[in-house]
Amino acid sequence: MQTTRKIFYPGEHANILVAGDVMLDRYVYGDAGRISPEAPVPVVKVNEVEERPGGAANVAANISSLGVKVKLAGMTGDDGQAGVLEQALAELGVCYRFYRQPGASTITKLRVLSQNQQLLRLDYEDEFTAAAAEPLLKIYAEQLRDATLVVLSDYAKGSLARVESFIRLAAERELPVIIDPKGADFSRYKHATLLTPNYREFETIVGKCRDEAEINAKGMALCEALSLNALLITRSDRGMTFVDRTAREIINLPAEAHEVFDVTGAGDTVIATFAAAVASGYAYRDAVCFANAAAGIAVEKLGAATVSAAELNSLSGRSAVHVSAKRVQLDALLDALSRCRQTGEKIVMTNGCFDLLHAGHVDYLERAKALGDRLLVAVNDDASVRRLKGAGRPLQELDKRLKVLAGLAAVDWLVTFSEDTPERLVAVISPDLLVKGGDYPADEIAGAEHVKKKGGEVRALSLVDDCSTSRIVDKIRNADQGSA
């Protein structure tokens, strides 16, 4: 199954409506240098206070950050916190309409942090009354007119007490409905398009699962029972499981985070990214890959964070063409290769001097890339080129050769080596396919024996006739001599 992540482009006509429990996330940062004389607790000297959208508001902020048009419907108290939340959303380009319930408080979560560690969380919240759901439903119905997809973010705070009506109104307009669910009764979400429970929420509904097969079976059964198209189960450090009832397909993706720093709001990022991708015209499997990548970025940030399209696309290795983006050290390369292999991508490797890039090189590298998902090019350093080609070579020093190669769309990574052959490098990388240009017998290609032992493939690709660096250099020299 192909799960290679594409480049994310926000859909021009995508217009997502988010409704649900909006919150204000307040972060207090300071130094905890001593223990209070009044009680065995740290004393925090406050240095900074930051306020961000939370809950459904964070979902909307993430969608906006990806460049997709979004509107937000929610309930707040009629208080100062509502004003702070509205200002934060306006600064992020989110259009919103709130019902301010008299006498209620805007849900606010205050976190106290020192040295990037959370010391305390205080929740200020009152459940909104059932009567307040009616004015919110009216706001929601009015905003549906321009929507192309709906996201319902349920934190069980009362905004979606009548979630069945929210689903029905969207269904009447034939709009997809994606829901982040809460609680022990998922029957409330029947006839939604897709649910995004975390693994604990999933097991609360279907019971304990002994293995992957049982997760898959129970996920498919839940889709059938609730008439869902699909189910996206987030599984923390075990990644995601996507159950597609319509295609009868299961997709398992490992987690992409390098280091889990803070899981706050990661679920918001997942549903926002998935919804933005679907609304922009991507297939479910592509949307899952985008969501998984975005979650990996989000948990490496502090607090409820947003992920931009640029950050998302930087992980694909295809959006940037500069040496700084494509030239990698071996340890970083191995880490990137590991992530790509976890999603089933095929790694192609080739090598050469590429002293004077010409049409033959471009043709060869494009054909090599077409044989897999990612192309790694190993390049001889200047000293090894001199040993191989003789005095006067290379014509261009290493940095210049790398910069030209980085400009080719076919090239994903560039790595250099100093030996006469890349055999040692091939043994470390173990590509799925090792290719070399020319009429070499496959067994004579450096590193071929190792690749074959590891179950990989070795192939020689023909080169463009009458197109080589040496011939081009000879033509230039002959032309110079003729003109003299």
Do 294 and 269 touch, CB atoms closer than 8 A? yes
Q: Which two tokens stand for residue 412?
A: 């994903």
Round to whole Å and give the CA distance between 257 and 255: 6
CA atoms within 13 A on the CB side of 250: 14
Active site (annotated) includes residue 268? yes
What DSSP letter does each residue of 80-121 carry, written as one string?
A: HHHHHHHHHHHHTT-EEEEEEETT----EEEEEEETTEEEEE
- Residue among 190, 154, 195 nearest 171 (CA): 190
- Residue 158 vs residues 135, 140, 183, 202, 379: alpha-carbon distances, Å: 13, 15, 12, 21, 60
Half-sphere exposure of 162 (CA within 13 A, CB side): 17
User: What is the DSSP code string of 319-348?
Assistant: S--SHHHHB--HHHHHHHHHHHHHTTPPEE
Residue 153: φ, ψ to 5°: -110, 105
Contacts of 129 (CB under 8 A, 6+ apart): 101, 104, 158
Rounded to whole angstroms, how far apart are CA atoms 187 and 244? 19
* 258/237 Cα distance (integer angstroms): 10
**Strand-pair partners of 100:** 76
217 sits in the region (left: phi over 0; alpha: psi -120 to 50; else beta) called alpha
27: closest CA among 112, 107, 87, 86?
Answer: 112
Catalytic residue of the set 25, 262, 268, 412: 268
Closest by CA position to 435, among listed 410, 460, 412: 460
Q: Active-site residues: which are they?
A: 268
